[in-house]
Amino acid sequence: MYLKNLEISGFKSFAKKTILDFSRPITAVVGPNGSGKSNVAESFRFVLGEQSVKSMRGKRGEDLIWNGGDGEMPRANRASVKITFDNSRRLMNLDFDDVILERVVYRDSISEYLINGTVVRLKDIIELLAGAHIGSSGHHIISQGEADHILIANPRERKEMIEDALGLKIYQYKKRESERKLEKTKENIAQVESLRREITPHLKFLKKQVEKIEKTLELKAELKNLYRQYIKREFVYLVEMAERVSNEKRTPEDKLKSIESELGDVKNLLSSSPGLDQKREELLSIEGKLNSARGRREEIMISIGRLEGELGSLKRMAEKAERETQKSDDTPVPLSKIEELKQSIEKELSGAESLSGIENARLIFGRIRELVKNFIDTFKKTPTGNVEAYRSEIDALFGKQKGLEEELQKVKDEESGFYKEYGRIREQIESEKDKSRDAERRMFELMGLQKEAYAELSLLKDKESKIAILKDEMEREIREGAMLVGREILNYSNEDCPSLEGGAPITKEQIIAEPRNLQEERLRVIQKIKVRVEDAGMGGGDDVLKEYKEVSERETFLTNELSDLEKSSASLVNLIDDLDKKLEVLFKEGVVKINAQFESFFGLMFGGGKASIKVVEEVKTSKRKEEDGVEMDEILAFQQGEEEEEERPQSGIEIDVKLPRKNIKGLEMLSGGERALTSIALLFAISQVNPPPFIILDETDAALDEANSKKYGDMIVNLSKLSQLILITHNRETMSRAGALYGVTMGQDGVSRLLSVAFDEAVAVAK
C-alpha cells in the first residue's frame, strides 16, 4: 500500500484539521448528503495539483478555503491538504521512505506546493506524480456523477485518459518538454542566425580592412629592410666622400693660405707709401740741417778770416810796440780814423742783422769790443810793458783761432755726415720705388694664383655641398621613414647591415665600390613603397585588428553556438521521434491489453456481450468547424486548442459495445445503469492494465441495482489487490467490502467532522 494518510485543514467544509488514515486496501467514506464527502475526494485532486478550480466545484481559489459557518469557527485564510505516501518501495523518485506532498492556497488564490516541507514548483509535483503513475487527468479519481465521464468524453480526451492510465504521461511530458526545448532551440537558432547575418557584412568589411592592414604591414617590413640597406650604405658613402673632399681641399687651401698671406704682405708693401713720404720728409729735414751746417761753416770761416785779420794787426801792433817801447806820449786821433771805426762797427752790425741766435749776437758783440779796443790801442802810447800784453793776446787769439778751426772741422764733419745721410735716404727712396714696382707685379701674379686656387676649391666645395644635400636628403628620408616604420631605423646608420645575399655584414669597401645607381634605385623603390604605405593610411590599425579579432571571435562563437544548437535540435528531434515511437508502441500494446480486460469486465457486468476500444485517426480543421457548425460538437471538443494546426491528423479512442441479447451498438442508446456499468468496466479494465497506487471513486456505484452492486463489489475487491481504493458511497454492498469506514458528519456550524465507524454505524450514517 502506498497511501498512508491525508490531512485536510481549512479546505472547504473541513474547517478543522482532519486526518484520514488509509491502512486498508479499501477505505469507504460514508455520510449523509452534503456532509462533505466529496470535499474529501476534491482534497485529493487539490493536493495532487489540480489546476481547474471548477473541477473542484469552485469559481476561484478562495472558494476552496473554509468560508466560515454559523458556529464558532471563523473563516480561514488558508486551506491546506497534505498527503503522505509510503515510499519505502520507491514509488516516487525520491530518496525518502515517506513522501509528503502539501498544497496550500491563500485567499489571494496563490498556491504553494511543498515536498517534504520544502517549497517546490507545481512542475516538480507533476513530474514526481507522473513518475508514480498518478496522472493529472484524474482517471484514478472519479468524481461524483462522473462515472460515465469516459463515455461522455470525446475521442481525444479518452485517449488522454488512457495514455495517462497507461503511464504514458511521463513520456508525453518528456516529449512536450523536448518539443518546447526544440522550439526554444529553433528560436535560438533563428536568433543566432540573425545575429550572424547581422555581423557578416561588418566582418567582411573588417576582414578587408585587416587584409589591407596586413598588406601595409608587409610593405612596412619590406620598407624597413630597404631602409636598412639604403641608410647604412648612404651613411658610409657620405662619410667617406666628405672625408675625401676634405682631404682634397687641404692642398688648395694651404696654397691659398700662403698666396693670401703673401698677397697681404705685398699689399702692405704697396700701401706703405707713408714710409716713402717719411723718408722724403727726412730728406727735407736733412737738407735743412745741411743748409744750416753750411751757414755755420761759412760763419766760422768768416770768423776765422777776421781772427786772422785781427792776429795780423795785433802782430803788427806788437811789433810797433816793441819798436816804440821808449816813446810814450799821446797820439792825436784823426777824425778819419774815428769815422773808420764807426763804419767798421756799422758794418759788423749790418752783417749781424741777417744772423740769428744768441751765439751770433755774442760773436758780434765780441767783434765790436775788439774793434773799439783795437782803435784805442792804436792811438794809445803803448808803454814798453805792453808788448807782453800783445803777445798774450796774440796767443789768446791763436787759441781762439784753433778753437774755431776745430769747430769748423766739426761742422764740416757734420755737413759731410748730413750729405751721407741725404745720399742714403735718396738711395732708399730710389730703391723703394723699385721695390714697389716688383710688389705690384707680384701682386698681379698672386692674384692669378689665388683665382686658380679659388676655382679649384670651389669645385671641391661644390662637391662638398652636393654631399651635404645628399646628407640632408638621407636625414629627411630617415625622419620620414621613422614616422612610417618606427624609430628603430634611426639607428640603422650605426648598425651592421646584412649583405643582400645574407651572411656577413657589408663592409665599407663593398659600399664604396658599389655603383651609385644601385643606391639611387634603392631610394626610388623606397619612395614608391612609401607612397603605397602612406596611401594605405595607418590610422586606427590596432583598433581595426582588435575589432576584427572580437567580431571574428564572436562569429566563431556564434558558429559554434549554431552548430551546438543544431546538434541539440537534431538530438531533440530524434528524442521526440523515439518518444513518439515509444508512445505509439506502448499505447497500442496498452490498448490491446485494455481491450482484453474490458471485454472480460464487460462480459462479467452484462453476462455476455462485447466491448472494445479502438484507435481512430481523424483529420479535423478549423475550416471544417465553420462549415459543419453545431453538428460537429464532439469533434469540436476534440479539436479544442488545436485549431491552429490544420490538417494535422489527430488520433482518438472510440468505444464499441454490444450488449448481450440486445442489438444495441451505440453508446447513446444505453440506459443510465448500462452506461455506468460500461464505464466502470472500462475504468476497471484500464486500472488493471497499469494499476495506479490508489483509486478514488465518488459514488460511482450510485446508479447500480442490487445485483449489479454485488458484481461491482466483486470487482472492487479484485481491483483492490492492485490499487488502494477510497470509495465514497451510500451503497451498503460497497460498504460491506471496505476494510475501514469513515463517517463524515456536518453539524449546525457547517463544519465537516470525521469519525471511524463500524459497518452498522456506517450504514446508519450513510442514510
Q: How far apart are CA 197 and CA 187, in angstroms?
A: 15
- The least CB distance from residue 692 to ligand ATP, in Å, is 22
Say whether residue 82 binds ligand ATP (CB under 6 A): no
Nearest to 743, CA basis, from 5, 143, 18: 18
- As measured in angstroms, the least distance from the Cβ of 740 to ligand ATP is 18
Minimum distance, C-beta of residue 39 to ligand ATP, in the bound complex (Å): 4
Closest distance to ligand ATP from the beta carbon of 14 (Å): 8
Q: At what angle do helices 516-536 and 386-485 cross, to 10 degrees?
A: 50
**Considering only residues 712-751, where is the footprint of ligand ATP by CB under 6 A?**
750
Note whether 650 binds ligand ATP by CB under 6 A. Answer: no
Tell me which of 9, 13, 27, 178 binds ligand ATP, using CB under 6 A.
13
The Cβ-side half-sphere exposure at 69, using a 13 Å CA radius, reads 18
Name the minimum Å distance from CB 111 to ligand ATP: 16
What is the Cα–Cα distance from 263 to 454, expressed in whole angstroms? 14
d(CA 426, CA 423): 5
Q: Which residues in 590-670 belong to E strands, given as ranges?
A: 610-619, 649-658
Stretch that binds ligand ATP, among 27-35, 245-253, 443-451, 557-565 (CB under 6 A): 27-35
Q: How far is the CB of 660 from ligand ATP (least distance, A)?
A: 33
Would you say 25 or 36 has its CB closer to ligand ATP? Answer: 36
| Near ligand ATP by CB under 6 A: residue from 12, 233, 297, 675 | 12
In order of 308, 318, 337, 375, 446, the CA distances from 378 in angstroms are: 18, 10, 10, 5, 84
**For residue 169, what is its C-alpha cell?**
504521461
* Options 34-42, 227-235, 402-410, 544-552: segment touching ligand ATP (CB under 6 A): 34-42
Size of site (CB under 6 A) for ligand ATP: 16
Taking CB under 6 A as the rule, does residue 36 contact ligand ATP? yes
Contact (CB, 8 A) for 675 and 151? yes
Contact flag: residue 530 with ligand ATP (CB under 6 A) = no
Rounded Cα distance between 745 and 4, Å, is 22
Q: Which strand (E) or helix (H) includes residue 141?
A: strand 141-142
Q: Which listed range, 28-36, 529-537, 612-620, 669-677, lies at the site for ligand ATP (CB under 6 A)? A: 28-36
Which of residues 63 and 452 has its CB atom nearest to ligand ATP in the complex?
63
- Cβ of residue 153: shortest distance to ligand ATP, in angstroms? 22
Q: Would you say 41 or 166 has its CB closer to ligand ATP? A: 41
One residue of 17, 19, 23, 34 binding ligand ATP per CB under 6 A: 34
Spatial CB neighbours of 189, under 8 Å, sequence gap ≥ 6: 562, 565, 566, 569
Rank residues 15 and 165 by Cβ distance to ligand ATP and give the closer one.
15
Residue 533 CA to residue 216 CA, distance in Å, equals 6
572: enclosing H helix or E strand: helix 541-606
Contact call for residue 67 and ligand ATP (CB under 6 A): yes
Q: Residues 135 to 164: which contact ligand ATP by CB under 6 A?
A: 144
Residue 292 corresponds to which cell in the numbers above? Answer: 744750416
Contact, 761 vs 732, CB < 8 A?
no
Interaction of residue 31 with ligand ATP, rule CB under 6 A: yes
66 binds ligand ATP (CB under 6 A): yes
Which residue has cell 506532498? Answer: 101
Q: Does 230 bind ligand ATP (CB under 6 A)?
A: no
Name which position in 17, 19, 33, 574 contacts ligand ATP (CB under 6 A).
33
With contacts defined by CB under 6 A, name the span among 36-44, 217-225, 230-238, 365-373 that binds ligand ATP.
36-44
Q: Which of 226, 245, 224 is nearest to 234 (CA)?
A: 226
Find cell 481559489 and name the residue. Answer: 61
User: Grid cell 802810447 — which residue?
Assistant: 381
What are the residues binding ligand ATP (CB under 6 A)? Answer: 12-13, 31, 33-39, 63, 65-67, 144, 750
